Every structure is written in structure tokens, then in C-alpha cells.
């Protein structure tokens, strides 16, 4: 029983980070119809930049964090302006391939600048575990999940009430109508990419903080977010949140109970098996909008 | 003087060779390729073998992605299926290569179909995602099904043999790969002159219109998936015979991305493009290595960034091609050819 609770708890912690990164995915997909395969590299780059600022330049963590966010926001805007804008109107294969090319490029930059060794990440959370019912829980888990919850709440409110958020939803609904209402679709695209880059970087920093170390394997997290967004529905922000937690719990349960049977690795493959099942049964996910095509 | 197309019959329009010259050039090229192994060392022979295998797999990917418009991230997984089938049939069952290679292709085609079916209701992004899932499931199977695949340590493959004929050396394997490559390219070239090939292209251009015109979209999409997986499976099988040892590390997700890159850089929906792209992407690390070796003496820091340099240059080239030449090297080649055709009166 305690084992089960521990697995579920771990699942919620990693799932909450999935939700955050999935939010970035969904924001880009909703407004620009691009599936961003470079999301994992955004996470990794954000975490490395934050690490360098905090450790090599001896900045206080909060300052380093804010500077990282600013850097990522600029990077998101530049990506949209330089790489994605020339792709408007191109077929899906070009859109997918350009983000794959971007992911290869960013991976190489990170590897060239920071190398491939595992680097210790500063303790951004208190290390002593707290007792939660029967389970000892590391405080990093609690802080990470709490900050994700706060961020997700802020974004939900942002999309519901602010001018920019409403403009983004309008653009996602119909670009032509949004344009005729005086919304600058180009600005919305740039905003979407910078939001996605920033939330992934936050996810990357939290994940590196929870794990206590940072290396290139963090980018794989970005690919595992794909089953999450497919489960939740590619264009649903609520779906991203629910999907993230469900997938996090599910992969930890698979890891805990199936690994002894199959000899390891179940945690990595389980989300992809679920992905095939979802695609065969309910391809538009739990909350996604079903597309009907008419000629 | 010729200054345009003057085709007067459908047969002329469909002809592979417009004039006798390309036919002779192709024959000369084949003769050169046949002679090469008797003059080069093992290193370049190995590079050529890898290029030819890459051309076969890139051609397969181009059939499904470039000609039919279905995006696949499963190339590495399907190559793995072909490779491991070869390991089982040639290693454990001891069958001759004339049986093993086609059977590996067929088995891969069947596995391709399994992952193709759920995604046929869906298009574009979703198919890419389904094949991505296929990749991780195959990778997991390859590294955990120990007594069939040798797990993470890999499995060795005996030299290709049929009866008393044993293809042990690089040179003999080269000739085998070359023969299969020529056969498969000839098949692909002709496939797109038939009804089936034209149905693929119709589905890519507008699937709903294709259906209205009487193309059974579901059937032809599956067929395209099967033909493509067959090519990729044969490439995997040849890779197994050439490398003689395969493990899951031979088939990472980055390999699938490399192949998509080849098809993009070479040219989507072009046989010539698959060839150009495969040559370019396979030669890229070799060229970078030559450059870094030359510069390394003066600037030792260069040596540590060789690995990321390859990935970075590849990513950058893909992005630049997509932005500035979305039709790839094949389109460039076509422009150059038509420019010289009318030189110096190019307008």
C-alpha cells in the first residue's frame, strides 16, 4: 500500500511538470498549428542557462532564474521570427521537420557549450524531507508541484481574463476573424512561442532541481510530453493539465509494477503504448476538438 | 536547337530517358561503380556501403512521406525490424541471403502495416506521433527480448551466404548491396509510372479529391506504407550483413530524424532527391571529420566539439533548406540542368 502511495506521489510530481511543459506545447499548437518537437531542448537549454548564471557567475538563484526567463522569452520570439514565420503556409512535413532541425541544432549548442557530463544542480529547495501521512516526502517535490499548480492557475486566469489571453484564444479559434477584429496575429504567434519557451524552461529548472543534477537526457522529457498532449487533446489547455498528471502516475505505476516482470524500461515505453491505444480509440484525446473535414 | 519540350506521344512523355545521352551516362556510371571496389581501400568502401544502404532506406521513406504525404518517424524502428529479422533468419536458422533479404523486407512491411493501420484515419501530425510511438515500442522490444535480439549487447550476423557462395569481404558485400540498390531504384522509378504510383501522388496532393476520383484511399495508403517498409526493411537487412553486429544503439531516434532530413534536403517526392540527400547526410560527418582533422593541429579545442558539430550542422542545413529551398537538392539540380540546356540563351 505504501509502495502504491509512493508511486502515485512520484507520478503526481513528475506529472505536474509534464503538465507545465504540455501547456507550452498546447499554446503553440492552438495558435500556430505547429507541433513543437524542440520543446525538450527548450527545457534543457533553460536549465543549463540558469545553472551557468547561478554557479559560474555567482548570481543569487532568484536573479539567475528571472534572467533565464527573459533569455528564453527572447529566444522564443527569435525562433518564431527567424524560423517559423517563413514556414507559414508550408505543408505539415515542413513544420515538423523544421522543429526537428531546431531540436538537433539546440542539442548541439548545449553539448558544445556545456559538454555531456552530469552536472550537479544547486539545491533550490530545502533538502530535509517532511512527513506526509505515512510517507516521508522530499520538500523539493512539494515545492515543485505547488509552483506548477500556481503557474497553471495563473495561465488559466491569463487566458480567461487578460486582453492578450483573449486575443490568443480568438486567434486559435479563427485567424481570419481575429485579423478582422484588429488582433495582430503575428504578435500572437510571437507571444505563443515565448510563453512556450518560458514555461518549458521553468519545467526544466524544476526538474533539474528535483533530480539534483542536469545532463542531456533531460531533452527526452520533451518527447514524452507528446503522449500527454495526445491524451489530453492537442488543443485543450485543461487536457494538458489532466493528461500530464494521469500520464505521470501511469508511467510510475508501470515502472513500479511491470519493471520487475520485463526487466526494466517499462517506465519509458508505457506512455508510448498508451499513445498507440489512444490514437486507435479516441484520436482527438479527452478534451480535444474533433476536426470535421468538408470539401 | 532544342529550346523546350517537344513530346509528341504519351510514350515519349513517360519515357525514363529523354535522349540517348543520359542512358549512356547512366551505363558509364554503373561501370564506374562496378569498378570502384577494385581500386579503393576498405575505408571508402565502407562509406560507399553505408551510402548505398542509406539511399535504399531514404527511397523507402520518400515513397511514404514524399510521394504519399504520410509523415513517418519510424524509419529507424523499421530498419531495426529488418536487421533483427536477418539476424534471426541468417544466424539462428542459417538460411541463404537470397531468402533472408526479401523475407526481412516482407516482415518489416507487415510490422509497418500494424503501426500504419491505427493512424490511417488520421493525417499529418498524428501519423508522425503514431510512428514515434512505434519507434519506442520497437526499441524497447529490441533491448528486452534477450534470446532473440541479444538485448543491449547486440547480436552478431554470419557472413551472407547462399550455397557455396560466401560474401565475406567488404568488396563482395559492396557488389551485393549495389545490385539490390539498382534493382530497387529501377522498381521505384517504374512504380511512379504506374496506376499505383499515381494514386499515391493523388493522395498526397488532395486525399478527398483522390477518393472522389475513384482512388481507394485506405487501400493505397496501406500499400504505400507496406512498400516503404519493405524498402526500409531491406536496408536494415543489408545493414546487418554489412555491419555483422547490430544492437539497439544502431537504431536511435536520431537515425529516423537523419532519414527525414535526407528526404527534405534531397527533395520530397523525387527519386533523384533520395539519392542526393542520402549521399549528403552520410558524407556530412566524414567531411566534418576531415575538416576538424586538418584544423585540429592549430586549434586543439576543435576536437572536442566534433560530435555536436555534426548534429548542429545537420539541424542548421535542414532549417536552411526548408526556408530557402523547400524542394531540395533535386530541384536545384533541375534548375542547373535546364540552365545549361539553353546556355547561353537562357531566356
Angle at A236 between CA A235 and CA A241, to 5 degrees: 135
B140 touches chain A (CB under 8 A): yes
At a CB cut-off of 8 Å and minimum separation 6, what does B345 contact? B3
Q: How far apart are the C-alpha atoms of B329 and B267, rounded to whole Å?
A: 6
* pLDDT at B5 > cutoff 70: no
Q: Inter-chain contact A98–B134, Cβ cutoff 8 Å? A: no
B122 touches chain A (CB under 8 A): yes
* pLDDT at B9 > cutoff 80: yes
pLDDT classification of B4: cutoffs 50, 70, 90: low
Top residue of B76, B217, B306, B322 to mutate, by most chain A CBs within 10 Å, is B322
Q: How far apart are the C-alpha atoms of A225 and A232, rounded to whole Å?
A: 11
Pick the range with the lowest mean pLDDT from A156-160, A233-237, B64-68, B117-121: B117-121
* φ, ψ dihedrals at B17, nearest 5°: -105, 120
Q: Inter-chain contact A108–B257, Cβ cutoff 8 Å? A: no
Which pLDDT belongs to residue A294? 56
Q: How far apart are the C-alpha atoms of A61 and A55, rounded to whole Å?
A: 9
Please report residues of A whose CB lies closer than 8 A to that of B69: 91, 93
At a CB cut-off of 8 Å and minimum separation 6, what does B155 contact? B84, B87, B91, B149, B245, B246, B247
Domains and CATH numbers, chain A: 2-117+139-281 (1.10.3470)
Q: Inter-chain contact B118–A280, Cβ cutoff 8 Å? A: yes
Q: How far apart are the C-alpha atoms of B314 and A253, rounded to whole Å?
A: 38
* φ, ψ dihedrals at A293, nearest 5°: -100, 130
Percent of chain B's residues with pLDDT above 70: 93
- Choose among B119, B209, B253: nearest Cβ to A279: B119
* pLDDT at A292 > cutoff 70: no
The nearest CA of chain B is from the CA of A3 a distance in Å of 25
Top residue of A100, A266, A271 to mutate, by most chain B CBs within 10 Å, is A100
* pLDDT at B63 > cutoff 90: yes
Give the pLDDT mean for B136-154: 84
B121 touches chain A (CB under 8 A): yes
* φ, ψ dihedrals at A214, nearest 5°: -145, 125
For the purposes of burial, counting CB atoms within 10 Å of the CB of B125, is it exposed (0-12), middle (13-18) or buried (19 or more)? buried
- Tell me the H-state helices in chain B: 10-14, 20-35, 42-61, 75-86, 97-119, 125-144, 146-149, 170-191, 195-205, 207-212, 217-243, 253-266, 271-296, 306-324, 328-341
Q: What pTM did the predictor assign? A: 0.90
- Contact between A103 and A40 (Cβ < 8 Å): yes
Please report residues of A whose CB lies closer than 8 A to that of B122: 279, 283
Task: State the Cα torsion A125-A126-A131-A136 to the nearest 10°.
Answer: 70
Q: How far apart are the C-alpha atoms of B149 and B88, rounded to whole Å?
A: 8
Grid cell 526499441 in the structure block, residue: B139
Contact residues, chain A to chain B, C-beta under 8 Å: 35, 83, 86-87, 90-94, 96-98, 100-109, 111-112, 115, 223, 226-227, 230, 234, 262-265, 268-269, 272-273, 275-276, 279-280, 283, 293, 295
Interfacial B residues in 235-254 facing A (CB < 8 Å) = 253-254
Please report residues of B whose CB lies closer than 8 A to that of A268: 136, 140
Residue A56 DSSP code? T
B45 touches chain A (CB under 8 A): no
The nearest CA of chain B is from the CA of A39 a distance in Å of 15
Which grid cell is B54?
A: 542509406
Tell how many helices (H) and how many strands (E) occur in chain A.
11, 4
pLDDT tens digits for range A105-154:
999 998 888 887 888 888 777 777 777 777 777 787 888 888 888 988 99
Amino acid at each position: 500500500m505504501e509502495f502504491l502511495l509512493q508511486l502515485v506521489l512520484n507520478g503526481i510530481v513528475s506529472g505536474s511538470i509534464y503538465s507545465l511543459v504540455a501547456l507550452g506545447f498546447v499554446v503553440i499548437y492552438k495558435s500556430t498549428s505547429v507541433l513543437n518537437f524542440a520543446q525538450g531542448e527548450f527545457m534543457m537549454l533553460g536549465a543549463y542557462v540558469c545553472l551557468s548564471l547561478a554557479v559560474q557567475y555567482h548570481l543569487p538563484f532568484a536573479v539567475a532564474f528571472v534572467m533565464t526567463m527573459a533569455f528564453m522569452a527572447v529566444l522564443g520570439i527569435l525562433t518564431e521570427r527567424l524560423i517559423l514565420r517563413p514556414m507559414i503556409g508550408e505543408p505539415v512535413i515542413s513544420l515538423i521537420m523544421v522543429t526537428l532541425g531546431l531540436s538537433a541544432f539546440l542539442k548541439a549548442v548545449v553539448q558544445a557549450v556545456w559538454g555531456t557530463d552530469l552536472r550537479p544542480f544547486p539545491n533550490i529547495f530545502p533538502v530535509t524531507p517532511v512527513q506526509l501521512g505515512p510517507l516521508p516526502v522530499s520538500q523539493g517535490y512539494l515545492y515543485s508541484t505547488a509552483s506548477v499548480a500556481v503557474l497553471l492557475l495563473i495561465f488559466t486566469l491569463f487566458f480567461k481574463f487578460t486582453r492578450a489571453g483573449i486575443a490568443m484564444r480568438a486567434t486559435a479559434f479563427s485567424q481570419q476573424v481575429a485579423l478582422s477584429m484588429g488582433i495582430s496575429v503575428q504578435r500572437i504567434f510571437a507571444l505563443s512561442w515565448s510563453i512556450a519557451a518560458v514555461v518549458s524552461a521553468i519545467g526544466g529548472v524544476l526538474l533539474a532541481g528535483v533530480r539534483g543534477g542536469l545532463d542531456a537526457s533531460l531533452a527526452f522529457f520533451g518527447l514524452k510530453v507528446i503522449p500527454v498532449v495526445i491524451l489530453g487533446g492537442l488543443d485543450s489547455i485543461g487536457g494538458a493539465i489532466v493528461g500530464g498528471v494521469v500520464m505521470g502516475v501511469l508511467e510510475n505505476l508501470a515502472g513500479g509494477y511491470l519493471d520487475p516482470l520485463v526487466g526494466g524500461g517499462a517506465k519509458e515505453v508505457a506512455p508510448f503504448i498508451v499513445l498507440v491505444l489512444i490514437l486507435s480509440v479516441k484520436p482527438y484525446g479527452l478534451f480535444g476538438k474533433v476536426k470535421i473535414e468538408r470539401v | 536547337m532544342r529550346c523546350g519540350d517537344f513530346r509528341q506521344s504519351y510514350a515519349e512523355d513517360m519515357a525514363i530517358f529523354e535522349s540517348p545521352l543520359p542512358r549512356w551516362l547512366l551505363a558509364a556510371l554503373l561501370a564506374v561503380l562496378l569498378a570502384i571496389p577494385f581500386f579503393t581501400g576498405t575505408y571508402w568502401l565502407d562509406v560507399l556501403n553505408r551510402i548505398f544502404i542509406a539511399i535504399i532506406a531514404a527511397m523507402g521513406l520518400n515513397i511514404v512521406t514524399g510521394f504519399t504525404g504520410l509523415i513517418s518517424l519510424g524509419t529507424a524502428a523499421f530498419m531495426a525490424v529488418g536487421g533483427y529479422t536477418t539476424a534471426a533468419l541468417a544466424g539462428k536458422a542459417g538460411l541463404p541471403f537470397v531468402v533472408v533479404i526479401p523475407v526481412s523486407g516482407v516482415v518489416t512491411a507487415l510490422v509497418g502495416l500494424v503501426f500504419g493501420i491505427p493512424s490511417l484515419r488520421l493525417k499529418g501530425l498524428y501519423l508522425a506521433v503514431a510512428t514515434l510511438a512505434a519507434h519506442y515500442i520497437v526499441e524497447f522490444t529490441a533491448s528486452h527480448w534477450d534470446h532473440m535480439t541479444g538485448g543491449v549487447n547486440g547480436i552478431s550476423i554470419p557472413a551472407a551466404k547462399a550455397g557455396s557462395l560466401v560474401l565475406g569481404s567488404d568488396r563482395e558485400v559492396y557488389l551485393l548491396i549495389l545490385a539490390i540498390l539498382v534493382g530497387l531504384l529501377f522498381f521505384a522509378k517504374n512504380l511512379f509510372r504506374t496506376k499505383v504510383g499515381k494514386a499515391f501522388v493523388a493522395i498526397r496532393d488532395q486525399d478527398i479529391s483522390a477518393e472522389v476520383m475513384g482512388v481507394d484511399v485506405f487501400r493505397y495508403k496501406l500499400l504505400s506504407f507496406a512498400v516503404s517498409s519493405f524498402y526500409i526493411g531491406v536496408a536494415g537487412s543489408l545493414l546487418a550483413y554489412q555491419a555483422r553486429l547490430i544492437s539497439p544503439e544502431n537504431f536511435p531516434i536520431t537515425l529516423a530524424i537523419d532519414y527525414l532530413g535526407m528526404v527534405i534536403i534531397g527533395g520530397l517526392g523525387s527519386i533523384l532527391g533520395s539519392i542526393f540527400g542520402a549521399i549528403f547526410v552520410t558524407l556530412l560527418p566524414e567531411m566534418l571529420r576531415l575538416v576538424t582533422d586538418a584544423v585540429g593541429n592549430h586549434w586543439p579545442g576543435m576536437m572536442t566539439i566534433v560530435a555536436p558539430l555534426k548534429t548542429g550542422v545537420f539541424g542548421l542545413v535542414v532549417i536552411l533548406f526548408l526556408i530557402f529551398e523547400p524542394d531540395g537538392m533535386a530541384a536545384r539540380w533541375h534548375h542547373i540542368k535546364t540552365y545549361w540546356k539553353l546556355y547561353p540563351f537562357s531566356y
